[in-house]
Structure 1
């Protein structure tokens, strides 16, 4: 595994070098640093992907290590034919848009303008595949005018030269060969490293919480226990897409089409990069920036085979809450809409709307996995219970896994995962309490519980085999859950076991004598304390 380690180290060094350039020009920890780092990284990736795919079609272009010159010398009709032969998900670049060309002309006048113009042209010429749409259909651009983030105009040329030099020193091409031939996916770790400083866990109006790899893998392996021919996969609160990436890898990138919605522009940008890194470029046109609850894009357009979601649990949606009670929303929000509290509007339980939206969005044989606060599975009344009743009475609950506390480093909320299946077996519902698994590790100021791969496998195998495992899982029927007031908590169904141990008469008397002696000691200590308390009370005087 030395190759993957080498590629990972070098790629992380590139990211660190780009951050260093930003810091040297006053953009360290600046709000625009995120845009610069992610967009420059994306430009490098697309540049190298283009070179890699073109060389596969025409290997002679890679001879003598002068790809740019060889590409430039192609006749116009030969170049156009070559572009036509490329897979539709590969970016189309021109010789003067390559990093090697910019590197060679970096000392020309007004280089920053050349750099920005190059990125703008790439955006426009590849908009059909690589642009993200809003609810209204408007498309964004791949790249901003990056040099404009440098306020001192006299430094812009030098800044762009520094960026190009860092990009020129590095190549993805060998890692592409290793990734596609060996099927080793190191881009997941790279993506996490790339965005770790920018994917805020600290809350805010639209907080983005990164789903741990272990949870994403468990969800994918339970949702897809076998082979799938083709699938439409959806996440209505996608964030940076970690749940969908694991699901797509399990199904097969070429066998699934991804659909997403999220209100955050930052999340949409990170998701696009994640899709490109994970060979899912064909799904970028399905990335929609919108308010999924108030303005769902796919609601009446598409139903889905698989839905995964780690929705925001609490969020102030009071500004459009009353609109959701109109007749046009009632079928989707069958269990109701949370009220606006008198205080702390930010505590509104928006996740309850996402659960109902997901149920509505499944097709007739659809499956879903939803991360919820564990309190949802036992709430005795309200919207929570109405949703649970619907899932059980309709026979749509496949099971629940209650995760260890602090499985998310960013929140102390205990979480569980609901597994829904429109074709579920209502006589064999799996309720699992995995809260005792995992080990605690420290991540910065936070403590987090980490599951081992063996524990992940244990959870998945017990769930998929519908196996009752002591202190872990129980198999119950629809009727049993109805009798327990629709509780989804495994602990309420575990059998209470009393162990009986045979002992001799002498052992019994010895134990009883020990208990009696201990009680006498406690009584004596209690009497002494009573006397001392009375003595102290008599000594009290009014001043």
Structure 2
């Protein structure tokens, strides 16, 4: 089976799982997301275990019936085999496989067997797959999925239908493909749960063009044993891209997000992208109010933070001694109206600056208005970036690069070892082509345009009406504006003309001016006559 056929088959599996949910009254239900993603995670864990255990046992690898061979292995031999398997590999016992459940679909109380199996797998793999809250409590991997069916008489059939779909084919031979395959599948898996109707945490992933540009500009050298962080991770698109640029084996992922839904999606994304070793570093919590990684320092930070959000409930608690260095530029005031417009992204920028290691680099998506604001917290942050020699540059992106928001965005690049004499400011707003994306329109960059942005930025190259390379002193002179357009050279074009051509042009100007004067005089006379005709009755 080719990769394309396999992707098609996997998407068909996802569609069939959604169809099962619809057939049992859960289509577009709030619990459908949990069922689809958790069942898919179970499928992945099952097939990953089978793939890894076969590599350590010739008997299992060559068995005509894998399930029977696995069930015949004693507990001692099973534990011995597990000792050779990669520590990130999920542990599944013989009575917990999809095949085992498939073979027992006609047993009574199948729904209970299904739920109990997922619960056992969750307990066995807590250390690898559980997501922690900021308090340290661990969230379970699986819910009791059958309980989402309100009619208890339908629960057995519902679980049987799910298992039947999972049994149809295996992921085994695709694991060597890693993210090239599963990144596509992940987006397809969550596409129906990533719309505006999903609420204020619906925008889960950043466009891949933006993520690729950020990763390619941040990661220009080979590095090892580095720590990558996203304080508003969503489903982890930015983290996946930077991890792939660095090499999954060369980095550890750390992240925080206030949304439980986002944290669970991120866990699945890490699993699918060969980054299971970083799952224990996923924290569900409020990064701004109660940062789990307050005192940690990171080598790479990427973030597309929420731009506006009502944080009035905990705004006052931020103004404490412990936060003075973190929020050095100030905390946005709570407005009397439109509290939902509070610029929470300004706190994320400051938090990121505080969280960089001595050699740290960061890329942050910000509203383009941030780079030109003449005063306030925005200007204070920009001034600090320049004076602390942390500013590497800015790329202003095209309008509608995000389909779900019309806000113009720029990418702010920080580097603790930045060159203050070569700050790159780029106006890429004219690039891209407009395409229809559902009800919205968005701008899509071509791969050549992506490459142009990356190469010009990394080479610190000035291109007419596209990019400039400026010094910290020049930025200071412009009131710390980071808009490339304010630094572009204003050019006056000169044209050589003869004396006769010059005389002809001047005569034309004089003639036009004389005509205008005549028209003006006539208009003055009309106005005077009209004024004389006015009467007071």
TM-score (norm 1): 0.92
Structure 1 contact 132–289 (Cα < 8 Å) conserved: yes
Structure 1 contact 132–139 (Cα < 8 Å) conserved: yes
Structure 1 contact 25–150 (Cα < 8 Å) conserved: yes
**In the TM superposition, what is the alpha-carbon distance from 1:323 to its structure 2 partner?**
0.9
* CA distance in structure 2 between the partners assigned to 1:51 and 1:120 by the alignment: 19
Cα root mean square deviation, aligned = 2.4
**In the TM superposition, what is the alpha-carbon distance from 1:339 to its structure 2 partner?**
0.5
**In the TM superposition, what is the alpha-carbon distance from 1:256 to its structure 2 partner?**
0.2
* CA distance in structure 2 between the partners assigned to 1:368 and 1:209 by the alignment: 20
1:231 aligns with 2:231: no
* CA distance in structure 2 between the partners assigned to 1:525 and 1:98 by the alignment: 93
1:497 aligns with 2:491: yes
SS class of match (2:313): coil
Residues 337, 107 of structure 1: CA spacing in aligned structure 2 closer, same or farther, 3 A cutoff?
Answer: same
Matches within 5 A, 1:525-536: none
What does residue 171 of structure 1 align with? 170
Matches within 5 A, 1:126-525: 126-177=125-176, 179=177, 185-201=180-196, 204-300=199-295, 302-504=296-498
Residues 523, 187 of structure 1: CA spacing in aligned structure 2 closer, same or farther, 3 A cutoff?
Answer: farther
Structure 1 contact 206–315 (Cα < 8 Å) conserved: no
* CA distance in structure 2 between the partners assigned to 1:381 and 1:234 by the alignment: 29
**In the TM superposition, what is the alpha-carbon distance from 1:11 to its structure 2 partner?**
1.1
What does residue 26 of structure 1 align with? 25
Q: Give per-residue Cα distances to partners, 1:253-293, cap 9 Å, x unaligned.
A: 00000100111000000000000000000000000111001
Q: Give per-residue Cα distances to partners, 1:165-197, cap 9 Å, x unaligned.
A: 1110121112114x05xxx61211111111111
Residues 67, 518 of structure 1: CA spacing in aligned structure 2 closer, same or farther, 3 A cutoff?
Answer: farther
* CA distance in structure 2 between the partners assigned to 1:293 and 1:464 by the alignment: 32
**In the TM superposition, what is the alpha-carbon distance from 1:204 to its structure 2 partner?**
4.0
What does residue 529 of structure 2 align with? none
* CA distance in structure 1 between the partners assigned to 2:508 and 2:62 by the alignment: 89
What does residue 17 of structure 1 align with? 16
SS class of match (2:421): coil
What does residue 539 of structure 1 align with? none
**In the TM superposition, what is the alpha-carbon distance from 1:516 to its structure 2 partner?**
8.6
**In the TM superposition, what is the alpha-carbon distance from 1:398 to its structure 2 partner?**
0.5
* CA distance in structure 2 between the partners assigned to 1:522 and 1:157 by the alignment: 90
**In the TM superposition, what is the alpha-carbon distance from 1:223 to its structure 2 partner?**
0.3
* CA distance in structure 2 between the partners assigned to 1:20 and 1:527 by the alignment: 81
**In the TM superposition, what is the alpha-carbon distance from 1:520 to its structure 2 partner?**
10
Structure 2 contact 63–69 (Cα < 8 Å) conserved: no
**In the TM superposition, what is the alpha-carbon distance from 1:504 to its structure 2 partner?**
4.5
What does residue 115 of structure 1 align with? 114
Structure 2 contact 329–380 (Cα < 8 Å) conserved: yes
**In the TM superposition, what is the alpha-carbon distance from 1:510 to its structure 2 partner?**
7.0
* CA distance in structure 2 between the partners assigned to 1:202 and 1:150 by the alignment: 23
**In the TM superposition, what is the alpha-carbon distance from 1:501 to its structure 2 partner?**
2.8
* CA distance in structure 2 between the partners assigned to 1:208 and 1:441 by the alignment: 19
* CA distance in structure 2 between the partners assigned to 1:354 and 1:227 by the alignment: 28
Structure 2 contact 204–235 (Cα < 8 Å) conserved: no
What does residue 534 of structure 1 align with? none
Structure 1 contact 398–425 (Cα < 8 Å) conserved: yes
1:48 aligns with 2:47: yes
Q: Give per-residue Cα distances to partners, 1:196-244, cap 9 Å, x unaligned.
A: 1112445745453420000000000000012112210000000000000
* CA distance in structure 1 between the partners assigned to 2:93 and 2:366 by the alignment: 48
* CA distance in structure 2 between the partners assigned to 1:520 and 1:112 by the alignment: 95
Residues 511, 408 of structure 1: CA spacing in aligned structure 2 closer, same or farther, 3 A cutoff?
Answer: farther
SS class of match (1:170): coil
SS class of match (2:411): strand
SS class of match (1:197): helix
List runs of 5+ in structure 2 lacking aligned partners: 525-537
**In the TM superposition, what is the alpha-carbon distance from 1:60 to its structure 2 partner?**
3.2
SS class of match (1:60): helix
Residues 513, 309 of structure 1: CA spacing in aligned structure 2 closer, same or farther, 3 A cutoff?
Answer: same
TM-score (norm 2): 0.93
* CA distance in structure 2 between the partners assigned to 1:528 and 1:104 by the alignment: 101
- Name the count of aligned residue pairs: 527
Residues 517, 205 of structure 1: CA spacing in aligned structure 2 closer, same or farther, 3 A cutoff?
Answer: same
**In the TM superposition, what is the alpha-carbon distance from 1:380 to its structure 2 partner?**
0.5
* CA distance in structure 2 between the partners assigned to 1:273 and 1:509 by the alignment: 77
List runs of 5+ in structure 1 lacking aligned partners: 531-543
Residues 272, 521 of structure 1: CA spacing in aligned structure 2 closer, same or farther, 3 A cutoff?
Answer: farther
1:86 aligns with 2:85: yes
Structure 2 contact 193–202 (Cα < 8 Å) conserved: no
Structure 2 contact 204–262 (Cα < 8 Å) conserved: no
What does residue 531 of structure 2 align with? none
